[in-house]
Amino acid sequence: MADTRRALLLLAVLAVASAYGPLFWPQPRAMTKGTDNFTIDPCRINYKVTTVPVYLVDNINLYLIETFKCKKGVEQQLSLGRDALNVTLTVTVLNTTLIPPLAGFENYTLNLTSDGNWLLRANFFPGFLRGFETFAQIFKQDENSTYYVEALPMNISDGPEFQWRGIMIDSSRHFLPVDVIKRTIDGCLYNKVNVMHWHITDEDSFPLEIKSHPELSGFESFNNQTYTKENVADIIQYALRKGVRIIPEIDSPAHTQAWGRSPQLENITLTCPGGPYTGQFDPTLDLTYQVIEDVLREVNEMFIDSVVHFGGDEVELLCWDLRPSIREWMIKNKIPTYKDLEIYYRNRQKQIWRKISNKTASYWANEDIDLPTEADDYIHWWGVSKNVRQLENRTNNIVLSNYDITYLDIGYGGRTGGIYGNSIETWR
């Protein structure tokens, strides 16, 4: 990418397409179009798949049955009839291994000729998924619901401009059943979104089962609704089959009220009065770091992606003034300010993580956060768009989630909000 900061965009951007021919989301990077039009029913195309792992055929059938409402899907090769143009779509995927949709793995070519010999080709399985979504978008329907295709012959060579295109879900404020998470992953597939950032824990609950600390989810879940290790593995496998990465977030040292609700762990958190988020770790206790290490060790075992999000925003520094032992510890350890204590926590957390894993750490950042980062850390910006220039001298990978335009519970002007705080917060 030309920009040395390699800024990573969180939401796909729709480019304006011409009125004639398909309206693609997002617009392919390179495309040529002709002038031929044909009546073509996607349910009557001959789908010829040269390599047939079950999950590849399952994805074709997902489109045929759910999108096009076909009465049946394909097995290996199934001819369902003829249209004005007898079409065979040959799908060639050189490597069908289930791999994360990383840089270079989502490219594909789609060649749609006027003689009906169509070809979708990808080097890797995620590229096939992106290409088949593009294929599904070529079809239009007239007033009689008859399918047709415009602008043949059409040749598309495509790959993502941004390697991180994501959506975040929050299972702490609202417990999300596994089938709801899978339906969200399907939505990612249809929109060529390749990251689902899973904000698992927060003030309200800790729904992830941790075997070394069953009290976390035991005392701190909604009506004992939790995610088991098997649930997590199922979700990750499902996401891989849809070309989606699962990035877990274990937020701290703020947003941690739920960690301390059991008698065993009640001392590791403080209650901070007056703010919207009232729970915060005591970063001076050895028990705090032992629990963090235990949790992160199991998170590392459960989640296979190369990135783990550690949160890190909205720390209420003066909250630590409520516990005299914290100030005494700071004096003893020559830590002069609460800001220095916050930095101490992050550094010690990172040291623990490096004992466990070499996976990349990601942290929240906005106008109020200026904490040290290491060269390989991801910076996840949630400040306003006009202030993103604060990051221009950073060499880290940057994920943009500007809250004024990308927060779905806030909106941007108009009836859904537009002012931070004037939002749709059903979880409160």
Q: Which long-range contacts does 327-334 make (Cβ < 8 Å, 24+ apart)?
A: 329/284, 330/284
**Is the bond preceding residue 248 a cis peptide, omega within 30 degrees?**
no
State how far the Cα of 408 lies from the Cα of 399, in Å rounded to an integer: 17
State how far the Cα of 142 lies from the Cα of 199, in Å rounded to an integer: 42
The identity of residue 173, as a single letter, is: R
Backbone angles phi, psi at 293, to 5 degrees: -65, -45
Q: And the tokens for 425?
A: 């917060």
State how far the Cα of 159 lies from the Cα of 164, in Å rounded to an integer: 12
Closest by CA position to 173, among listed 206, 197, 195, 209: 206
Determine the straight-line distance between the first and last CA of the chain, rounded to whole angstroms. 41
Catalytic residue among 133, 209, 314, 316: 314
Report which secondary-structure segment, H or E, holds 300. helix 286-302
**Is the bond preceding residue 100 a cis peptide, omega within 30 degrees?**
no
Q: Specify which residues 234 forms β-bridges with.
A: none
Residue 184, judged by CB atoms within 10 A of its CB (0-12, 13-18, 19+), counts as middle
Cβ contact 360:353 at 8 Å:
no
314 is catalytic: yes
Cβ contact 140:148 at 8 Å:
yes
Quickly tell me which residue has 């200026």 as its tokens: 370
Strand, helix or coil for residue 195: strand
The identity of residue 407, as a single letter, is: Y
Quickly tell me which residue has 């963090």 as its tokens: 292
State how far the Cα of 227 lies from the Cα of 221, in Å rounded to an integer: 10
Residue 318, judged by CB atoms within 10 A of its CB (0-12, 13-18, 19+), counts as exposed
- Going by the DSSP 8-state scheme, the letter that residue 112 receives in this structure is E
Catalytic sites, residue numbers:
314
